[in-house]
Amino acid sequence: ANVNTKITVTEFQAKYNPFGIRSTGKLIDDIFKFHKSDLMKQHIRILNDFPASQLPDKFDARKRWPQCSSIHDVPNQGGCGSCYAVAVAGVASDRMCISTNGTVQVTLSPDDIVSCCTACGTCFGGDPLKALIYWVNEGIVTGGQDGCRPYPYDIKCGVPCPLFEFAKNVKLQKCDRKCQKIYYQNDYFNDKYFASIAYTMVPRILPLPAYGNIPIPAVMDYFNYDITLEILKKELYLFGPMTMAFPVTEEFLHYANGIYTPFPENDFTKRIIYWHVVRIIGWGHDRERLFYWTAVNSYGRSWGEYGLFRIDVRFLEQFGLEYEAALV
């Protein structure tokens, strides 16, 4: 039989759910289409032409774009492994504001991604790049308590919630294409906000049902890999926050303050609990000139440095960190 006629569960859901990413093949096509688009060529030109010497020693997106209140938001994913959707909804809200110079101020809904993008993931985790592509193709509605689709998962289960809580909440994952009753500004379909192209910054593998692991093109394909950090900084400085995925061990869950780095390093791979996705909003150096990213986590404000953390990624880079974004 022709391999292409076999339909996996994910593809079946996508095929018969016109609002999911339509099929795995379409997903790959989109990634390559975005990579070769005129908008991407223009994006690369801007990144290339901006002088690295003009990048500040330390940077905070909240100060660069004070008109964008969403950059300050610290979400709490509660009893759902939705970090990928929460981080993407945050990046999308920030970039909507930044790209419109503050005229569009929205809090976009992670629940729209978790519930209605079958290909993106579930309460047991998912892929931020797929969620960013969903933002391009299907749009994301408003969230927050008083938006179209509020976040339904309970946050009383701890900081962060234990993994067994996620299983209980899968039943809440319903793609109901209606806004909550108190939200009367728009209907669901007219409440959507869209991006133009989505992309990964550094090369990575995309695991796809029926296709296996597919290497996908990245922004860094246009540059020398020696300047990866410089290009990541330019992306953040010129266009706003982006997502970062990295492996997490137990000690990260108990982070209180300072610059996080995995410790001890030995047996690190055996100790990985899961991959986690966060929103990067800045960078800096400590007194020893150690570089760190400043990131917003999704464990609420009582975790870490008021919900944020600083991370030294040198050790983690060997595991293939993923940085992703989209242009409005």
Domain spans of the chain, in order of start: 3-327
Instruction: State yes or no: is 297 an active-site residue.
Output: yes
**Upper half-sphere CA count for residue 94 (Cβ side, 13 Å):** 30
Which of 324, 250, 295, 300 shows the shortest CA–CA distance to 77? 300
Does residue 318 register a pLDDT over 60? yes
In the residue annotation, 2 being an active-site residue is answered as no
Catalytic, 83? Answer: yes
pLDDT greater than 60 at residue 291: yes
In this predicted structure, what is the pLDDT of residue 158? 80
Match 């990985």 to its residue by tokens. 272
Distance CA 289, CA 278 (A): 24
76, 137, 169, 297: the catalytic one is: 297
d(CA 307, CA 176): 30
E strands along 35-95, which residues? 59-60
pLDDT-based confidence at 153, cuts 50/70/90?
confident
Dihedral angle computed from the Cα positions of residues 184, 186, 187 and 188, in that order, rounded to the nearest 10 degrees: -110
Compute the half-sphere exposure of residue 64: CA atoms within 13 Å on the CB side of its CA: 21
Task: Tell me what pLDDT residue 5 has.
Answer: 34
Among the ranges given (1-10, 97-106, 198-207, 210-219), the one the predictor scored with the smallest mean pLDDT: 1-10
Assess whether pLDDT exceeds 50 at residue 144: yes
What pTM did the predictor assign? 0.91
Is pLDDT above 70 for 17?
no
Q: Which fold has domain 3-327?
A: Cathepsin B; Chain A (3.90.70)
Residue 11, pLDDT above cutoff 60: no
CA angle (139, 142, 148) in 5-degree steps: 110
Structure confidence at residue 266 (pLDDT): 83
CA-based nearest residue to 280, from 128, 159, 167? 128
pLDDT digits (tens, 9 = 90+) for 160-210: 888 878 877 776 678 989 999 999 888 999 999 999 999 999 999 988 877
Q: Please give the backbone phi and psi of residue 265, each rounded to the nearest 5 degrees, phi first.
A: -80, -25
Q: Which of 68, 80, 83, 123 is catalytic?
A: 83
Higher pLDDT, 196 or 22: 196
